[in-house]
Amino acid sequence: MFLAWNEIKRNKLKFSLIIGVLVLISYLLFLLSGLAKGLINMNTEGIDDWNADAIVLNKNANETIQQSKFNISLVNDKFKDSALLKQTGVIVSSKDEEENAIFFGTEKDSFLVPKVIEGEESHHDNEVLIDESLKEKGFEVGDELELTQVDEVLKIVGVTESAKFNASPVIFGDFDTFYKINPMLSNDETNALVVKDKDFSDVELDNDLEVLAIEDFIEELPGYKEQNLTLNFMIGFLFVISATVIGVFLYVITLQKINLFGVLKAQGFTNGDLAKVMLSQTFILAVIGTIIGLILTLATALVLPDIVPIKFEYSTLTLYGAILIIVSLFGSLFSIFTIRNIDPLEAIG
């Protein structure tokens, strides 16, 4: 470690280039991980708040709530704890604001409704709660919402914690209000039943119904799987780029120092000793580059506007940082193999 650090100090410019590349790679890697988590959160924020185990849908609905429809009597008293859910898409406007949103029709005191953080619960028809993401777009308690598809006016009486569903803000109301917006779904029908029951798979349901674990339901959300695969591929590719760049830089530096390695071998340094120096050097460079990249990422997070769907988890950042350092060490193996094949006599001569 001492020899490795001394050489880095003596050749600051040369090794600064490697650190600079590592900083850029780690910075991009951390930003992508935050973007991936942020986009996931946009899709599943509301679902995660349910803390549910499963969801019951019509078999022919292609795992989509809005396309599902079945009679409530088919699921009455089937599970330990459950909540009916009705869903429809709406376009709401108030003052100069207009927004696409999802309207959830729920029962009173349903666990599907997040905690109210401003205002109060709805108690009457046409009173609704909006999730926090709608408030951030200019809608406030007391506003009246006009709907494009029906001549109904809704009044915002409260704001809940952010509960986006499939990247859309959510409005919560009772079944009577829902029926005024979407009369195609009668009072004795529902789109879905959200279940809190660990033994949901043991319950026998009508042949027209299916029960999906919440994790499976999330995987089937439109665009969710493709989006995650794309971002994860990009993150994986960055790890490969990191190993390649480190490998090439260190390999070139190693070729420039063949005579020096020859002298060290002649003085009694073994291949193992030189390999340790190379690995120590790579470890130091990778740690410095990763830490600087992490600092830049956290600084960037402070200035990004709220509209950017990015969310950082320290556990993920730590994991990716550790993987980046390990991958960089693998990249140094090219140089270690080169050092092993150096003949002291030929190198010195």
The neighbouring-strand residues paired with 234 are: none
Beta strands 97-105; 170-173: pairing state: parallel
- pLDDT below 70 — which residues of the chain? 1-11, 345-349
CB neighbours (10 Å) of residue 215? 10
For residues 263 and 218, what is the distance between their CA atoms, to the nearest angstrom? 61
Backbone dihedral angles phi then psi of residue 51, each to the nearest 5 degrees: 55, 40
For residues 33 and 313, what is the distance between their CA atoms, to the nearest angstrom? 9
CB 175 within 8 A of CB 86: yes
pLDDT in tens, 216-264: 999 888 888 888 888 888 888 888 888 888 888 888 877 777 777 777 7
CB 94 within 8 A of CB 143: yes
Q: What is the pLDDT of residue 345?
A: 65
Q: Where are the domains of the chain?
A: 2-43+224-348, 54-197
For residues 146 and 311, what is the distance between their CA atoms, to the nearest angstrom? 32
Which ranges constitute the DSSP H helices of the chain? 2-10, 12-50, 132-135, 175-181, 214-219, 224-256, 258-266, 271-303, 314-331, 333-340, 344-348
Binning the chain into helix, strand and coil, the percentages to the nearest 5 are 50, 20, 30
Length of the chain: 349
